[in-house]
Structure 1
């Protein structure tokens, strides 16, 4: 049903490990695009998902990061350590520089791992569908909405189809509004003729190796508004100080104070699960855990929110 898309940085993988049981219980299937050369964190994450009897999709030809030129190490990890793991599937990323022959070669190579085609810039959908022929109905496809409009997706009718949208608008932290719309796919994906939906959580599809110093610190938290047709929105709790790249701990404290005020107002619509409880504990202790940790809590909260809504 829900397919959250993670790039395999440290805190993304830690997030998945911490919520592996929730993902499995909810029937959520994370998609992981490994971007770091070391794969020990990925292996631990896949173990956690398997131990929870969940499912996961691992992209074997990443578009970004250390494996973007050659994903053979990822394939070897899956073949050596997870060959018999029914919950581990392969993802084949279809970018604009790939041919139909390239796509089918990956598909045939990993056919025993229930591969998913992930459409993210591919330019030959009709030709691919025709080459798949009678096997089309047995294939699985994830479409990144910005790259695969309705006519594109139509070529794969009859197969299992997932629509993945990016609800996060990338801008300077200081320029974020307090709140804005995020997505309605959790409500409308079936109306789109899809079998499931996904997103890039509160991180967005834009990839960067690492951010520069934070002039403003923001806590991004999604919520579902029952008074507005259950559409998902996102809060951006932004620090007051944003004129220098110093004192991230103080800036986090300012952003956290805004979050706690919104929670205590009783009108936030934020789901108060484990992530929010931890934000409250950080506020009570006056502790800054680091920006990566804050992002992890926001991703965890996003999954908790959807799990609660779809339960």
Structure 2
């Protein structure tokens, strides 16, 4: 149903662990593209999902990060620790540099890992569908919407298909000041109209990969909400600090963003779902505590997952 896409940074993996039971109960399947050389954090996330009885897709050939040139350590982890489990699928990432031969080789190398094709710029959909042949209906496919238009996706009719949309517009944090609310996505409502069996997104982070954050000239908290008055379309609040001229005092800037969140929520018109993540944000505001920007990003992602779960269930 819902397939959130994570790039496997520390706080993203912690967010998966913290929501493992919720996602398992809701039938959500996180997709993880590991970007860090150390795989212990990934393994803890996978163990949490498996313990909760959920399912997860792990990209075995990442495009970004420390495994971009060689994903063998990821494949080895899946083979050694998770081969006997039905919870863990191997994600085969097909980009614009992936040849048809590469795609077929990846599939053959991971047949025992319940492979899932992840289409992210691959150029030869028709030939791949023909290679799969009469087994097509038994395969699973995830499509990056920005890379896979309807004609591309049509080659895989009959298979299990999932559409990923990037609803997050990447800007400098300070630039969100002029756009406090904007549309995020309607895919949670319209994915069946697109002929899909599931939908996904890149949460409140976006699909663009960055190795690490730079100095925080402004601090922003991004929280999604579903507007029942607008056909249940999903929007996103950007709560941004007014201080933005120097990279100093991230704690003070976080407090400014949190205060805006508090004021907006207290109006009773924010549309924000009061789950565990939002409750923690409000408690941080009351305590005037700064947990670090990574923790704030984690809570934002968890809030997004809780919001979709609350809507669908």
Bucket of the pairwise TM-score, normalised by the shorter protein: over 0.9
What is aligned with 2:157? 157
Counterparts of 1:228 and 1:69, CA distance in 2: 45
What is aligned with 1:142? 142
Counterparts of 1:120 and 1:140, CA distance in 2: 14
Counterparts of 2:47 and 2:132, CA distance in 1: 32
**CA positional deviation for 1:68:** 0.3
What is aligned with 1:288? 290
TM-score in terms of structure 1 length:
0.99
**CA positional deviation for 1:280:** 1.0
> Of the candidates 186, 189, 192, which is equivalent to residue 190 of structure 1?
192
Residue correspondences, number: 311
Q: Stretches of 4+ moved more than 6 A in 1?
A: none
Q: Deviations over 1:167-215 (max 9, x none)?
A: 0000111111100000000000000000000000000000011011011
**CA positional deviation for 1:43:** 0.6
Structure 2, unaligned runs of 5 or more: none
**CA positional deviation for 1:135:** 1.1
Counterparts of 1:14 and 1:179, CA distance in 2: 27
Mapping of residues 1-311 of structure 1, within 5 Å: 1-176=1-176, 177-311=179-313
Q: Deviations over 1:206-228 (max 9, x none)?
A: 00110110111000000000000
**CA positional deviation for 1:165:** 0.3
Counterparts of 1:115 and 1:182, CA distance in 2: 30
**CA positional deviation for 1:52:** 0.1
Counterparts of 1:130 and 1:15, CA distance in 2: 38
TM-score in terms of structure 2 length:
0.99
C-alpha RMSD of the superposition = 0.5
